[in-house]
Amino acid sequence: MSSFCVLRTRCFLRQVFPGLSATMLRSYSLGVSPPLLRTQGYWDGRWVSAASVFPVLDPATGQELARVSDCGPVEAKQAVDAAYRAFQSWKQTTAKERSVLLRKWFDLMNVHKEDLARLITFECGKPLQEARGEIAYSASFLEWFSEEARRVYGDIVPSAAKDRKIFLLKQPVGVASIITPWNFPSAMITRKIGAALAAGCTVVIKPAEDTPLSALALAEVSRYSLTLTNDSSSEAGVLMSKSELEIIKSVQLAEQAGIPAGVVNVVPCSREKTPAVGNVLCTDPLVAKISFTGSTATGKLLLRLAADTVKKASMELGGHAAFIVFDSADLDRAVGGAMASKFRNSGQTCVCSNRFLVQSSIYDTFMEKLAQKMDAELRLGHGSEPETTQGPLINTRAAEKVAHQISDAVSHGARVLRGGKRLDGSFMEPTLLADVTADMLCMKEETFGPLVPVVRFNTEEEAVAIANASNVGLAGYFYSQDVGQIWRVAEALEVGIVGVNEGLLSCPEATFGGVKQSGLGREGSKYGIEEYLEVKYMCLGALK
10-residue mean pLDDT profile of the chain (544 residues): values are 34 42 55 90 96 96 94 98 98 96 94 95 97 97 98 97 97 98 97 98 98 95 52 39 36 50 96 98 98 96 97 96 98 98 97 97 98 97 95 96 98 98 94 97 97 98 98 98 98 98 96 97 98 98 94
434's CB contacts (< 8 A; 6+ apart) are 367, 414, 415, 417, 454
From CA 220, how far away is CA 326, in angstroms rounded? 48
User: Residue 459 contacts by C-beta under 8 Å, 6 or more apart in sequence?
Assistant: none
Q: How far is CA 441 from the centre of its chain?
A: 25
The long-range contacts involving 527-531, CB below 8 angstroms and separated by at least 24 positions, are: 528/145, 528/148, 528/191, 528/195, 529/145, 529/148, 529/149, 529/152, 529/195, 529/198, 529/199, 531/195, 531/289, 531/291, 531/312, 531/314
For residue 291, give the nearest of 188, 214, 209, 208 by alpha carbon.
188
CB 196 within 8 A of CB 96: no
How many Å apart are CA 365 and CA 434, to the nearest integer?
12
Q: Who's near 21: CB < 8 A, 6+ residues apart? A: none
Three-state DSSP class for residue 204: strand
pLDDT for the residue 224: 64
**Phi/psi at 73 (nearest 5 deg)?**
-65, -30
Distance CA 447, CA 355 (A): 9
What pairing do the DSSP bridges indicate for beta strands 533-540 and 472-473? Answer: unpaired
Q: What is the DSSP string of 145-201?
A: HHHHGGG---EEE--SSTT-EEEEEEEE--EEEEE--SSSTTHHHHHHHHHHHHHT-
Query: Residue 228: what residue type?
Result: L
Determine which helix (DSSP H) or strand (DSSP E) holds 76, and give its type and residue range: helix 73-90
CA of residue 193 relative to chain centroid, distance:
12
Asked if 51 and 40 touch (Cβ cutoff 8 Å), the reply is no
* pLDDT for 31: 83
- Sign of torsion, CA 381 383 389 393? positive
* Residues carrying an active site annotation: 316, 350
Residues 6+ apart with CB under 8 A from 205: 178, 179, 180, 189, 193, 215, 219, 264, 265, 266, 267
Residues sharing a CB contact under 8 Å with residue 304, sequence separation 6 or more, in sequence order = none
Q: Is 544 exposed, middle or buried (0-12, 13-18, 19+ CB in 10 A)?
A: exposed
Closest CA to 87 of 248, 263, 239, 318: 263
Q: Which of these, 444, 348, 452, lies nearest to 390 by C-alpha position? A: 348
The closest alpha carbon to 193, from 335, 293, 94, belongs to 293
Cβ(258)–Cβ(101) under 8 Å? yes
Q: Are 187 and 214 in contact (CB under 8 A)?
A: no
Euclidean distance between CA atoms 477 and 46, whole angstroms: 45
Enumerate residues 6+ apart whose C-beta is below 8 A from 458.
Answer: 359, 360
The predicted structure's pLDDT at residue 257: 57
